[in-house]
Structure formats: C-alpha cells, structure tokens
Chain A
Amino acid sequence: MLKHLFKLIWNKRKQNFLFLSEILVSFLVIFAVFSFLTYYYQNYTKPLGFEYERVWAINYDNGQFPKNKDSLQTLYSTLSNSLKAMPQIEEVCYASGNFPYASSTMSTAVKQNGKKFDRVNFYTVSEDYKKVWNVTMLAGRWFEPEDAVSKDKSIVINETLKTAIFGEGSAVGKLIGDFEDKHKMKVIGVVQDIKTAGDYWPAGNAMFNRLDTGYLKDTRNILIKVSPDADATFESQLYKFMTSTFKNSTIEIEHLSEMRDSKNKVTIIPMVIFMIIAGFLIINVALGLFGVLWYNINKRKGEIGLRRAIGASGNSVSYQLVLEALILATLSLVVGCFFAVQFPLLSVFDVPSSVYLIAMVLAVIFIYLLVFACALYPGKQAASIHPAVALHEE
C-alpha cells in the first residue's frame, strides 16, 4: 500500500506542489523557532556561575580625579575602606565596565601554540571581585596582592576558554600569548563559567585580568555586595556619600537583579514576538492544509467510492488519506532537513551542532503532528462518505 501511495503522490506531484511548499516553509520557520528555543534553553539550564542578588553597581564619572597614579591608588583604597566600613556593605570591588548584565562588552583574542582563540571576553577586576560575585574556582587560585609583581601577567580564565585551549589538561601555571602573541600571560586559576549576558546566553570564552594602578584612571564602576537589610534609605545614604566623595560626578546606583531582568527581557521579548508571528503562520498553514485536504477529499469522492467498492473499509480509506498527507509531509521534510542540516555542518552562527539537531528533530515531530491533526478530520469525513453516493456523484 505504501508503494502504491508513493506512486499516486508522485504522479500527482504538480497538484501537490502547494501542499509540499506549505509544509516546507512551515518546517523552516518552526526549525528557526526551535533552534532559538533550544539554544536559549540549553544556556538557561547551565549554572549562572555567580550570585547577583544583593549586588549593586555604582557608576561614576571620574574625570576630575587626581592624574597621579599613587594619589589615585590612595583615593580608591580609602574609598574602598570607607565603603566596607558601612555595616550594610559586605564586599567591595572595582571592575571594568563589562561587569555582569552591563551593556558594554570588551573582547580580545589569545594565542596558544600559534592557534588563535577569538572573542574572549576580557574583564579587568580588582582582587575582591570573586568575593562580591561568589565565583567558584575550579582550579588554581584567584588574584592575590603578589600578582602585582609577578614576572608574567597573571590571568584567570573561565572553564570554556580553558577547555578550548587546553582540553581536558590542566591550565594552571601555563603561559598563553596575548592577541599578538608578544606578551605571555600566566594562567593562575580557572573559574566556573559566568553568564554575564543574561540567563539565555552562553558564558563564552572569558579571561580575568587583575586591575592595576595603571587602569585606575579608567575605572568607573564599583560593585558592592550589600547585606539583606540594605534598603532604599541606605541606598539614599550611599548616594549622598558617593556624591560627597566624587564631587561634580554623576552617580548612578543600579541593582544587579533589576539589570538581570532587563537583560533577560531583551532576549525574551523578541523571542515572544517571533513565536507569536510563527504561531499565526502555523495557524494559517494548518487552516491551509485542512482546506487542501478537505478539497482533495471532495475532488476524490469518486476514487473514494471506488476504493470502498473494491474492498476498502471506511477505516482504511481514512487511514489512506492520513497516510498520504504524512507521506507528502515526509517529502517536504526531506527537502527541509537537507537545508536545515547545513546549519550544524557549516557551524552557522557558531551555535553548537546539538542545538540544530535537537531543533530539527522537534520541528519534524511538530510538522508530523500538525499534518496528522489537519488530516484526521478530513480523513474521518472521507470514511463516512457513502460509497453508492460517491460513485453516483462522480
């Protein structure tokens, strides 16, 4: 029967072109939706790698600060101590503008044995950064004061970069080159990946650089971890303290939990819009499929009557029509999968292959379910056609 149906469909390929095209387009749209969803889901299920609750970011304009490095060092040290002295503040650190959930990014490349590793997020942070975020060390150690005088610049890398460069081997104590491979940097520790761009994005390659006095003039961010009782009143006091410390500066205090929410919304909202548009498309396609199948059944009443006359039961007519729709879907899906499989093969958008493969499987299942659902009722209707009436109408 299957071979017979293939033959019938092949001989009617021109009439089936619309149906085949509809399924193909739907598959590609659904594949895109599932690729996004799978990608976001896979990232979402990975650990965050840090604690953002009760962390506040203080941003300031430091244009009028002393130019002298020592004076600046003293100022920052005093400021840090003053902040730590406040009972509501547990930890304090300085960081470059690309701290978690901030909108700025900084990236570089590193080289190891002539091989270049691109798009490495580059974070410049003070020693207490780890305490503020409660970052987990996987190997080695975090920055210590003596790193300031080490021969090779000390860096801490994240797990993703470590795996990319060293695979399963140890990274601690190894030297890697900067983007031009002119200066060597010593890996002193490996931290768990931290998802700085939101819950739905991967950590990517990351490298932490110890904030030294040379960078202080460019520092504009203080990150503090506050105690649970830090409230709006304290925030107001803190604001006053900062404005009195950094006179004529613009001070901005942001809560990382709020920054996280808005960062996630930037991902979720377009995705929801995309899903709504895809949903409407699928509804249209479903109605289209239903209409085409319904029309086919009315057009094929004579054939249905004949099949009933020569030995098909009502159920087998229904089964045949559903099977025909599923075979047609299969033909479209073969073409669709040919296009879809190019994504993992060509590593499009640098997304893991597993994302595309899972999305492909889900899209195939979805299309089969859609076609099955759309074919079921017309199939049942075909089964209920009275053979004598169908033959007479023809």
Chain B
Amino acid sequence: MIHLQNIEKVYRTDTVETLAINGINLNIAKGEFLSIMGPSGCGKSTLLNIMGLLDEPSKGKISIDEQDLSRFSDQQLAKFRNQKLGFIFQSYHLINDLRVLDNVELPLLYRTSSTKERKMLASAALEKVGLSNRLKHFPTQLSGGQRQRVAIARAIVGNPQIILADEPTGNLDSAMGNEIMEILINLNRNEGTTIVMVTHDENMANKTHRLVRLFDGSQVQ
C-alpha cells in the first residue's frame, strides 16, 4: 500500500543542515495498523508528513497504492490527499468558527458533491464516532475527546484508504485516549482502513499490528 524507499529528509538553513530522516525503507500493507514510536525530534512526524504528501523527501522514493508520486503536481497531490488519505492531528485542527457538521464536511468541499450528499456523509461519519447529537455545536463547546472524535469523523468522511494519525491521543487522558484508540481499531478492523499512527504511548502502540521505532531519524526496529 505504502512503499518508502531510502527516504531521507534534510532541513537546510544558511548555516546548518539537519538530517531529520536517514534512509528509511518501509512497506506498509493494505489493511495494516502500524504505529511509529521514538523520542521527541527523532523524525516521526516528518516521516508521517512525507507519507501524507505534506512534505517532500530530500532523497528517496515514495509510492502509495502503486502510484509513483514524485512527479505529481501540487494540484494532483492535493487531489490524491483528498481521495486516498485522511489525517488526524494531536491538536485536532478543527476550525473553531465552523460547527461540527461543517468541520466534518470540509474534505468533501474539495470534491464534486451536492450539499445534501455532503450533509448525509458527514452525519454518517459523526454517527460512527458517536457524535450524532453534537452536529450543531462549535468545537469550543466540546471536550478534548469529542474534538478528536470530530477530527476522526472528518478524516473518514471521504472514505479514504489510509489514515495518518499524528499522536491522536497525545492531548487526552487515558480513558479518552482508549476511546479514540477503540474507534481507530474498529475502523481498521471493520472498514479495512490502513492506519499509520505516531505515538509516544507504548500501550497504544501495542494495540497495533506492527511497531516501527525511530531514533535520530533512522529506523531501529
């Protein structure tokens, strides 16, 4: 599903070069639930951003769903992200000026779909995460766990094949974290969604199919 070949990422300033990722090779199968762990600054999020096509590798090749993405234009990458990928972030990244339903609809705005269809799909996604009674609320009126569930609904509304989650339980207490983890596990199990999750939490990582450990930008496990 996702193939990373000798991925390297170097951040350059006028005076300093920082090697964030060094020669990562990784194959993630369809339907796999993979977690990435490592200390802060080891390159986990950078690797996830590269998989999510939000960042370009300095070297190496990435292909998703057997498509070589290195020659995709900005427009093509945007379309690919919209149709194939779903993102969940530690800080939720909800738009506070939009209601829950409108937040979940967002990915569908960049597709050809009618208002009615968007509303239907967004409502269904919110129902999946148990928030069908919070459609008209604003994010600021929700708890952290509820916000993360809205973010999950937004990630799955477009029915993507892959979900990339960057510390989805990082801002939550353990009970809320477990609830979120349950949702992700169910998504993986029931819908066959491939999930790549960055986490600091060993317990959460242990619930996934496979664990990849990074240290100083290199894969150590």
* A388–B109 touching, CB < 8 Å: no
Cβ of A305: which chain B residues have Cβ within 8 Å of it? 54, 93
Which one of A102-110, A312-320, A326-334 is at the B interface?
A: A312-320
Whose C-beta in chain B lies nearest to the C-beta of A320? Answer: B109
Whose C-beta in chain B lies nearest to the C-beta of A383? Answer: B74
Measured in the bound complex, the distance between the Cα atoms of B109 and A311 in whole Å is 9
Contact pattern, B 78-92, Cβ under 8 Å of A = 1, otherwise 0: 110111000101010
Q: A299 to chain B: closest CB distance in Å?
A: 11
Q: Name 22 interchain pairs, CB-CB below 8 A, sorted by A.
A: A1-B109, A3-B115, A7-B98, A8-B97, A11-B97, A303-B95, A306-B93, A306-B95, A308-B54, A308-B78, A309-B52, A309-B93, A310-B81, A311-B111, A312-B78, A313-B75, A313-B78, A316-B110, A386-B55, A387-B54, A388-B54, A388-B55
Whose C-beta in chain B lies nearest to the C-beta of A306? Answer: B93
Given A8-B98, A11-B98: A310 and B106 interface contact (C-beta under 8 Å): yes
* B74–A314 touching, CB < 8 Å: yes
Interface residues of B, dominant DSSP: helix
* A311–B54 touching, CB < 8 Å: no
Contact pattern, A 218-232, Cβ under 8 Å of B = 1, otherwise 0: 000000000000000
A391 at the B interface (CB under 8 A): yes
The 5 closest A-B pairs by CB, nearest first: A311-B82, A311-B110, A313-B78, A388-B55, A388-B49
Measured in the bound complex, the distance between the Cα atoms of B81 and A308 in whole Å is 9
Q: A311 to chain B: closest CB distance in Å?
A: 3
Cβ of A3: which chain B residues have Cβ within 8 Å of it? 115
* A311–B102 touching, CB < 8 Å: no
Measured in the bound complex, the distance between the Cα atoms of B75 and A316 in whole Å is 9
Q: A99 to chain B: closest CB distance in Å?
A: 67
Cβ of B78: which chain A residues have Cβ within 8 Å of it? 308, 311-314, 316
Q: B residues near A, CB below 8 A?
A: 45-46, 49, 52, 54-55, 74-75, 77-79, 81-83, 87, 89, 91, 93, 95, 97-98, 102, 105-107, 109-111, 115, 154, 158
Measured in the bound complex, the distance between the Cα atoms of B110 and A7 in whole Å is 16
Whose C-beta in chain B lies nearest to the C-beta of A5? Answer: B109
Residue of A309, A312, A314, A386 ringed by the most chain B CB atoms within 10 A: A309
* B97–A12 touching, CB < 8 Å: yes
Measured in the bound complex, the distance between the Cα atoms of B98 and A3 in whole Å is 12
Q: A328 to chain B: closest CB distance in Å?
A: 14
Cβ of B46: which chain A residues have Cβ within 8 Å of it? 388
A4 at the B interface (CB under 8 A): yes
Cβ of B82: which chain A residues have Cβ within 8 Å of it? 310-311
Measured in the bound complex, the distance between the Cα atoms of B74 and A313 in whole Å is 6
Measured in the bound complex, the distance between the Cα atoms of B106 and A305 in whole Å is 13
Measured in the bound complex, the distance between the Cα atoms of B98 and A307 in whole Å is 13
Q: A8 to chain B: closest CB distance in Å?
A: 6
A392 at the B interface (CB under 8 A): yes
* B97–A391 touching, CB < 8 Å: no
Please give the number of chain A residues whose Cβ is less than 8 angstroms from any Cβ of chain B in the complex: 27
Contact pattern, A 187-225, Cβ under 8 Å of B = 1, otherwise 0: 000000000000000000000000000000000000000
Given A310-B107, A310-B110, A314-B74: A394 and B95 interface contact (C-beta under 8 Å): no
Q: A residues near B, CB below 8 A?
A: 1, 3-4, 7-8, 11-12, 302-303, 305-316, 386-388, 391-392, 394
Cβ of A309: which chain B residues have Cβ within 8 Å of it? 52, 54, 81, 87, 93
Cβ of B49: which chain A residues have Cβ within 8 Å of it? 388, 391
Cβ of B109: which chain A residues have Cβ within 8 Å of it? 1, 4
Cβ of A316: which chain B residues have Cβ within 8 Å of it? 78, 110
Whose C-beta in chain B lies nearest to the C-beta of A13? Answer: B97
Whose C-beta in chain A lies nearest to the C-beta of B46? Answer: A388
| Interchain CB contact (< 8 A) of A4 among B52, B54, B102 | B102
Residue of A3, A302, A314, A387 ringed by the most chain B CB atoms within 10 A: A387
Measured in the bound complex, the distance between the Cα atoms of B83 and A394 in whole Å is 24
Measured in the bound complex, the distance between the Cα atoms of B89 and A309 in whole Å is 11
Cβ of A391: which chain B residues have Cβ within 8 Å of it? 49, 54, 89, 93
Cβ of A394: which chain B residues have Cβ within 8 Å of it? 91, 93
Q: A388 to chain B: closest CB distance in Å?
A: 4
